[in-house]
Amino acid sequence: MNILVCVKQVPDNAVVPKLDPATDRVIKEGVETMVSPFDLNAVEAGLKLAEEHGGEVTVLTLGDDTCKTSLRIALSMGAAKAYLVSDPALEESDTWATSYALAKAIKSIGEFDVILCGKQAIDDDAGQVGAGIAEQLGASLVSYVNEITEVTADALTVKRVSPAGEELVQAKLPVLLTCEKSLNEPRYPTLKRTRMANRMEIPVLDCAAIGADAGKVGKNSPSAIKKLYTPAPRQSGEVIKGDAEEIAKIGVAKLVEQKII
Amino acid sequence: MSNKNVWVCLEQTDGKIAGVSYEMLSEARKLADQQSGEVCAVLMGAQVQDLAKDAFAYGADKVYICDDEKLKNYCCESYCKVLENLVKENQPDILLLAATTVGRDLAGRLASRLETGLAADCVALTLEDGSLVATRPTYGGNIMADVIFPEKRPAMCTIRPNAMSKAEPDAAKSGEVVAVALDIEEDAIRTQVKEVLAKAGGEISLADAQIIVSGGRGLGDASGFDLIREFADTLHAAVGASRAAVDAGWIPYEHQVGQTGKTVGPKLYIACGISGALQHLAGMKTSDVIVAINKDEEAPIFGVANYGIVGDLYKVIPVMIEEIKKVLAAR
């Protein structure tokens, strides 16, 4: 079973992101990075599938050279190969262009039975790239997966989060799954694998190498960010202190008064 | 040539229209009126014809209905094909879908196929010089982004439930119903719902809830959620939790509110024994009204709360439950 996992390197979410007033972009310099948490669930799911059903895991990301850090984390968890898609033309790509470029890269790397992504990256919070890749590859799509229940030679059966609760879905291979946090518990890298990962070559692919039309990506994306801004901070309101019974009654009275309940 | 029509893909489950669908219709009506366009709704499912009147009541001029037994459960390929055909034929200016696990799945695939822009999980839509500007939270709501769609149409957006207001329905309104046939080859269908696993008896989901009562580490142990559930039941609310409570194994992950859980924006959010870590605030701070109940007056949750009740939740909540019961009984 050939498995590919897409990961994204994002700023550490323990830090409040700040905007650079000059460029109107989120400041990334000097900010620690992390692999977007749901992508680690995707890596773990890929490794488990490979262990139980054979095959290997390839990881892929798109970004600048610093994003090799995230690929090495996936390698040190157990992935066999890693590729970085990097090209100045891809800067400011929207989710359409990102999924287009990633799908082109996947096609240029090889054939895969299962492609895994996190349900969304915790910086853009869009959750659209996985679905876009599935479409571009002509693969089945099941998003928000929280359990893989059955694996056969030509299909996967998985549970996904649905508006009504959960659904059990059977999908023909090749399939792209986007992963929920509850799918698994990502493993920690071992020291031995980390050493190996640090020595591994990570090929860098540009638009020409993957056959992506530079005129469709980056600044030519179908959508663009006009402006980023920090929302007005929420003001703290009234503090209610005192005897428990009294403050409970005051609390309810306030909610009734304001017609909230 | 695209027109100035605003389209809404209605979300329904088991013949019940989701609240976000009405919010989308109400918003679509406002946008369409500003640019002299029509509001068109798309309804897909099995035995859903009767729902068209609701769409008219909330502002649709026209409802396209694809009613087919094969659409009873959500199927990405079939739903996507229906919408693709309709969009290509009618060339709307704007297309809205719900930012749910169905709408986001469908919108992502469709936008990729149509080669058009898609803004996810939008909380506000405006028109500037005749073009859509979609506002969406990023970085867990710490940064807002205004997204534009320079050329490609339709401009697509998924809309966060509870973020936009619903218009008053007008039951007297009606419009044109257009029947659409499901036109997809059998072998193009690659995914199939085998079973729908509903939530435990009558539990309200976080996504739909108007009121959410959440518990955190301050509950002390798993049994604390008995009190949270009782509080929630009194208010017909959904039960949420902080990551700390989920990590402690007190309550399943599907209840987690926050950056690595669910993002919610109900009318009322009651945080009980939750300190308010950055990641938790990211998931709930757009709630209309926040009430915090916590012993620690210094807890960051009080920084975002409209009403901060400083006290022992085990003493405060039982009294609140009784008070609320009295209020509700008097109505």
Question: B240 φ, ψ to 5°?
Answer: -115, 175
If contacts are CB pairs under 8 Å, which of residues 58-97 in chain B contact chain A? Answer: 73-74, 76
Find where tokens 């027109």 sit.
Answer: B3
Position B1 pLDDT exceeds 50 = no
Percent of chain B at pLDDT above 70?
A: 98
Closest by CA to B177, choosing from B84, B301, B40, is B40
Cα→Cα distances B1→A88, B116, B118, B152, Å? 33, 15, 19, 11
pLDDT at A236 over 90: no
Measured distance between the N- and C-terminal CA atoms of chain B, rounded to whole angstroms: 55
pLDDT at A180 over 50: yes
Give the minimum alpha-carbon distance from A212 to chain B in angstroms, rounded to a whole number.
14
Residue B166: Cβ within 10 Å count? 16
State pTM to two decimals: 0.94
**Does position A84 have pLDDT exceeding 70, yes or no?**
yes
- B276, B299 in Cβ contact below 8 A? yes
What DSSP line would sit under chain A, residue for residue?
Answer: --EEEE--EEE-TTS---EETTTTEE--TT--EEE-HHHHHHHHHHHHHHHHH---EEEEEES-GGGHHHHHHHHHHT-SEEEEE--GGGTT--HHHHHHHHHHHHHHH---SEEEEES--TTT----HHHHHHHHHT-EEEEEEEEEEEE-SSEEEEEEEETTEEEEEEEESSEEEEE-GGG--PPPPPHHHHHHHHHS---EE-HHHHT--GGGSGGGSSSEEEEEEPPPPPPP-EEEES-HHHHHHHHHHHHHHTT--
**Which residues in chain B have Cβ-Cβ distances shorter than 8 Å to A172?**
190-191
Q: What is the DSSP letter of B142?
A: T
Cβ of B198 within 8 Å of Cβ of A135? The answer is no
Quote the number of domains for chain A. 1
Of residues B2 and B135, more confidence is placed in B135
The answer to whether residues B306 and A251 touch, using CB atoms and an 8 Å cutoff, is no
Whether the pLDDT of residue B203 is over 80: the answer is: no
Domain boundaries, chain B: 6-188, 211-329
How close is the nearest chain B Cα to the Cα of A200, in Å?
Answer: 31
Query: Does residue A138 carry a pLDDT above 80?
Result: yes
B211-329 has CATH 3.40.50.1220 classification: yes
Mean pLDDT value of segment A89-103: 98
Inform me whether the C-beta atom of residue A55 falls under 8 Å from chain B C-beta atoms: no
Give the CATH fold of the B6-188 domain: Rossmann fold (3.40.50)
User: CA-to-CA distance for A59 and A47, rounded, in angstroms?
Assistant: 11
Lowest-confidence region among A120-124, A154-158, A230-234: A230-234
Domain contains A231: no
State the number of CA atoms in the 13 A half-sphere of A52 facing the CB: 12
Residue A99, in any domain of the structure: yes
Which pLDDT does position B205 carry in this prediction?
A: 84
Amino acid A222: pLDDT: 98
Position B201 scores a pLDDT of 55
d(CA A147, CA A124): 25
Nearest to B48 by CA among B7, B18, B17, B84: B17
Residue B184 — very low, low, confident or very high, per pLDDT cuts 50/70/90? very high
User: How far is Cα A197 from Cα A218, in angstroms, rounded to an integer?
Assistant: 30
Distance from the A158 Cα atom to the nearest Cα atom in chain B, whole angstroms: 10
Residue with the two structure tokens 């202190």? A241
Q: Which of B319, B280, B273 is nearest to B296 (CA)?
A: B273
**CATH number of the CATH domain containing A51:** 3.40.50.620
Say whether pLDDT at B165 is over 50: yes
Distinct helix (H) and strand (E) counts, chain B: 8, 18
The token pair that represents B328 in the structure block: 């509700």
Q: Which of A12, A161, A240 to mutate to test the interface with B (most CBs of B within 10 A)?
A: A240
Cβ count within 10 A of residue B117: 27
Mean pLDDT of B208-234: 96
Q: Which tens digits make up the pLDDT trace of B293-322?
A: 999 999 999 999 999 999 999 999 999 999
Report the sign of the C-alpha dihedral through residues A64, A67, A72, A78, in that order.
negative
Domain assignment of residue A80, given as a range? 3-220
Rounded CA separation A192/A194 (Å): 5
Q: What was the ipTM of the complex prediction? A: 0.95
Of B121, B142, B319, the CB nearest to A245: B319
Interface test with A, best of B307, B312, B324 (most A CBs within 10 A): B307
Rounded CA separation A32/A11 (Å): 6
Q: Helix, strand, coil % (nearest 5) of chain B?
A: 35, 30, 40
Contact B264, B209 (CB under 8 A): yes
What is the token pair recorded at B69?
A: 């037994």
Average pLDDT value for chain A: 96
- pLDDT one-digit tens code per residue, B57-115: 999 999 999 999 999 999 999 999 999 999 999 999 999 999 999 999 999 999 999 99
Residue B280 pLDDT:
95
- Peptide bond before A174: cis, by omega within 30 degrees of 0? yes
Residue B82 three-state SS: helix
The Cα B82–Cα B96 span in angstroms is: 15
CB distance from A244 to chain B under 8 Å?
yes
pLDDT at B202: 63
Q: Of A105, A75, A106, which is closest to residue A90 (Cα–Cα)?
A: A105
Mean pLDDT over B173-196 rounds to 95
Whole-angstrom Cα distance, residue A186 to residue A206? 30
Please, what is the average pLDDT of chain B? Answer: 95
Between CA A156 and CA B142, with CA A187 as vertex, the angle to 5 degrees is 90
8 Å CB contact of B138 and A125: yes
